[in-house]
């Protein structure tokens, strides 16, 4: 039998055994050296119900601004982690095809960012907070302070 070491899953706390033949969490093998994020933990998402929240028109005006900012935040985090643009996703080399300016994203990716931004606003309202439009609107178009 080959030597083994023990480690603990950062998400579930389940012990991992590493052997010369691979890593195992309970019954689950780690593929390609990557720990599956949930290890063997059962996860049931339970988002806040926003199905009855209707965003006022002035908040809908924020859609593109917030979506673009969502992309910039994601891209900034990726860049800080050492990722750069690549025509295809390559996790080993940290290359990502979506590390491009927002206006160069496919429409499907922009829609994902729009949905994320709008759902965040709906959660704020569902929790009872109020969002008021300022007298001077800062974000009529996103100021290009991020360069990707």
Q: What is the pLDDT of residues 25-35, one digit of tens each?
A: 444 445 445 55
Check residue 49 and give its pLDDT.
94
Domain 48-148 has CATH 1.10.490.160: yes
pTM passes above 0.85: no
3 state DSSP class of 2: coil
Question: According to CATH, where is 1.10.490.160 located in the chain?
Answer: 48-148
Check residue 27 and give its pLDDT.
44
Using CA atoms, how far apart are residues 125 and 50, in angstroms rounded to an integer? 9
* Cross-strand pairs, 8: 15
Confidence of residue 42 (pLDDT cuts 50, 70, 90): confident
């Amino acid at each position: 039998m080959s030597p083994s070491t023990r480690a603990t899953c950062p998400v579930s706390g389940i012990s991992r055994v590493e052997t010369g033949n691979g890593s195992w969490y309970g019954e689950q093998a780690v593929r390609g050296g990557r720990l599956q994020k949930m290890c063997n933990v059962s996860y049931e998402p339970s988002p806040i119900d926003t199905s009855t929240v209707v965003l006022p028109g002035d908040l809908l005006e924020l859609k593109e601004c917030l979506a673009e900012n969502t992309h910039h935040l994601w891209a900034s985090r990726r860049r800080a982690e050492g990722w750069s643009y690549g025509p295809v996703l390559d996790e080993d080399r940290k290359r990502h095809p979506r590390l491009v300016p927002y206006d160069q994203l496919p429409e499907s990716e922009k829609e994902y960012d729009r949905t994320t931004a709008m759902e965040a606003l709906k959660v704020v309202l569902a929790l009872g907070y109020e969002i008021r439009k300022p007298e001077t609107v800062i974000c009529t178009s996103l100021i290009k302070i991020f360069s990707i």
